[in-house]
Amino acid sequence: MYITTSAAVGLCMLAFFRRKNFTAGLRKLFLVGLLVLAGLVMVGSDRGAQLVYQYATSVRLTGAPK
């Protein structure tokens, strides 16, 4: 998720510092960056959910109330 955060900060900086002359090429680069960022978020959330599920299924809750 550090890579995802870095990509988001990079895209924000690109949009902020180049806002006066945001050409068509930069818009395409920004769009590709947003698509990559969305993919990274999906992969990160999938891995996080898998981690939580595997941790929960490996814990023995014999004394837990039902």
Per-residue pLDDT tens over the stretch 9-27: 999 999 999 999 989 999 9
DSSP string, 16-56: HHTSTT--HHHHHHHHHHHHHHHHHHHHHHHHHHHHHHHHH
Mean pLDDT, rounded, of the chain: 87
56 or 16, which is more confident?
Answer: 16
Domain presence at residue 64? no
CA distance 38 to 18: 22
Q: Can you give the pTM of this predicted structure?
A: 0.73
CB-based burial, 32-57: b 16+ in 10 Å, e otherwise? ebeeebeebeeeeeeeeeeeeeeeee
Domain membership flag for residue 62: no
- Domain of 18 in residue numbering reads as 2-57
Residue 65 lies in a domain: no
